[in-house]
């Protein structure tokens, strides 16, 4: 039924070994022989079975990627960066999620052991981190795309400049004459949250800090709370764009003008940021570049390069729109 290397060998009048050499341009092959083999390959439309090649070579030319969710706004960017890089290198990408908790992790671990892929890219492990570290110690090449500041030490990972991102937001607000900012954070146990806050305060010290949870509601409630308590503030720095959108809504509902009365800066630069009212100034997180870089690191490692033992850091970038000109 399907065309195999044996068919090609027979029709070209050579051995399977020679066909294999032609395909992989490995070892010396007579020019004429090679041409004849290539002609047969073309005529038969022969394509090597990836499964058989993988079995014989002991590697699958596939990398795995584990993500917590596919519906988060910046996940598409990360994924696109990974897929582009991986495909360009001729590798396949096997995608896994772990949204069913223990069961998913179990199934996933099985796939790993089954050698379905040669290396692994991971975003946001949360409860999976121990498993991942374990796999890494067992010899599986792993690179972590860490957007929440939770990577273990000495672990290959890609991060962004959360401290500097927070600082850049503060500098921008300060340059506009804002001196009484409110910070709406994400969950306090996230490393990225602590860093963004520290960076911001380093430039613009403030005690007006409300701990949020990255939801729109938390952004809205934080603003309402301060308004109700009659705390004065002339700017808001929210730790992600979603909660910044909530803050915008609460300010509008309260009749405060943005940016005239209060300037607002978010974090992430998700697609929505340009469609809020007014469009949101925000600290861009380089999601796509993080995906690309992590994939490149993993591929280089598979190619034999040493894994970097300290995180690769990609810069944030302030995107200025009307909410904080």
Partner DNA sequence: CTGAAAGCGCTTACAG
Q: Which does 230 bind (CB under 5 to 8 A by kind): its own copies, DNA, none?
A: none
Phi, psi of 181 (to 5 degrees): -85, 150
Q: Which of 129, 174, 203, 272 binds its own copies (CB under 8 A)?
A: 272
Q: Which does 21 bind (CB under 5 to 8 A by kind): its own copies, DNA, none?
A: DNA
**Can you tell me whether residue 30 is helix, strand or coil?**
coil
Mark residues 176-215: x for contact with its own copies by CB under 8 A, - for none.
----------------------------------------
For DNA, the closer CB: 17 or 69? 17
Q: Applying CB under 7 A, what is the total number of residues that bind DNA?
A: 33
Q: What is the DSSP letter of 152?
A: P
Q: Are 147 and 293 in contact (CB under 8 A)?
A: no
Residue 203 engages DNA in binding (rule: CB under 7 A): no
Residue 20 engages DNA in binding (rule: CB under 7 A): yes
Closest CA to 206 of 252, 160, 170, 241: 170
By CB under 7 A, the residues from 49 to 108 that bind DNA are 49, 52-53, 55-58
Q: Are 207 and 201 in contact (CB under 8 A)?
A: no
Closest approach of DNA to the CB of residue 93, in Å: 21
Mark residues 98-137: x for contact with its own copies by CB under 8 A, - for none.
-xx---x--x--xx-xxxx---------------------
Q: How far is CA 95 from CA 68, 147, 158, in A?
A: 11, 19, 19
**Can you tell me whether residue 143 is helix, strand or coil?**
strand
Closest CA to 188 of 203, 206, 210, 207: 210
The C-alpha angle 219, 316, 206, rounded to 5 degrees, equals 45
Q: How far is CA 73 from CA 227, 244, 283, in A?
A: 29, 14, 15
Span interacting with DNA, options 10-18, 143-151, 188-196, 232-240, rule CB under 7 A: 10-18
Residue 230 engages DNA in binding (rule: CB under 7 A): no
Looking at beta carbons, which pairs linking 48-55 to residues 24 or more positions away fall under 8 Å? 48/5, 48/23, 49/2, 49/4, 50/92
The C-alpha angle 123, 318, 83, rounded to 5 degrees, equals 30
Residue carrying the six token digits 């969950």: 187
Mark residues 41-60: x for contact with its own copies by CB under 8 A, - for none.
----x-xxxxxx-xx----x
Q: Which of 4, 62, 109, 215 binds DNA (CB under 7 A)?
A: 4
Closest approach of its own copies to the CB of residue 320, in Å: 18
Chain residues in the site for its own copies (CB under 8 A):
2, 45, 47-52, 54-55, 60, 62, 69-73, 75-77, 79-80, 83-84, 87, 90, 92-97, 99-100, 104, 107, 110-111, 113-116, 216, 245, 252, 271-272, 274-277
- Residues lying near DNA in the complex (CB under 7 A) are found at 2, 4-6, 13-21, 23-24, 26-30, 32-34, 46-49, 52-53, 55-58
């Amino acid at each position: 039924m399907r065309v195999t290397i044996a068919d090609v060998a027979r029709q070209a009048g050579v051995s399977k070994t020679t066909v294999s050499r032609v395909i992989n341009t490995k070892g010396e092959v007579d020019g004429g022989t090679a041409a004849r083999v290539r002609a047969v390959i073309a005529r038969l439309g022969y394509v090597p079975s990836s499964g058989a090649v993988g079995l014989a070579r002991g590697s699958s030319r596939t990398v795995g990627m584990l993500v917590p969710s596919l519906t988060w706004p910046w996940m598409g960017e990360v994924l696109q960066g990974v897929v582009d890089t991986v495909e360009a290198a001729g590798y396949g990408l096997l995608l896994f999620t772990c949204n069913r908790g223990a069961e998913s992790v179990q199934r996933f671990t099985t796939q790993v052991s089954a050698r379905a892929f040669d290396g692994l890219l991971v975003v946001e492990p949360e409860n999976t981190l121990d498993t991942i570290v374990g796999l890494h110690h067992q010899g599986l090449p792993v690179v972590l795309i860490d957007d929440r500041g939770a990577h273990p030490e000495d672990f290959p990972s890609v991060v962004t400049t959360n401290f500097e991102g927070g600082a850049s937001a503060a500098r921008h607000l300060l340059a506009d004459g804002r001196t009484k900012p409110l910070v709406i954070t994400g969950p306090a146990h996230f490393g990225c949250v602590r860093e963004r806050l520290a960076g911001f305060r380093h430039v613009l010290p403030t005690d007006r800090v409300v701990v949020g949870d990255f939801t729109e509601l938390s952004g809205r409630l934080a603003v309402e709370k301060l308004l109700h308590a009659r705390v004065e503030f002339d700017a808001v720095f929210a730790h992600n764009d979603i909660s910044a959108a909530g803050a915008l809504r609460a300010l509008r509902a309260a009749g405060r003008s943005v940016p005239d009365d209060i300037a607002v800066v978010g974090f992430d630069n998700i697609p929505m940021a340009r469609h809020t009212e007014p469009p949101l100034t925000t600290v861009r997180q380089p999601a796509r570049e993080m995906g690309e870089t992590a994939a490149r690191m993993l591929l280089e490692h598979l190619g034999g390069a040493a894994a970097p033992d300290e995180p690769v850091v990609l810069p944030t970038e302030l995107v200025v729109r009307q909410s904080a000109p």
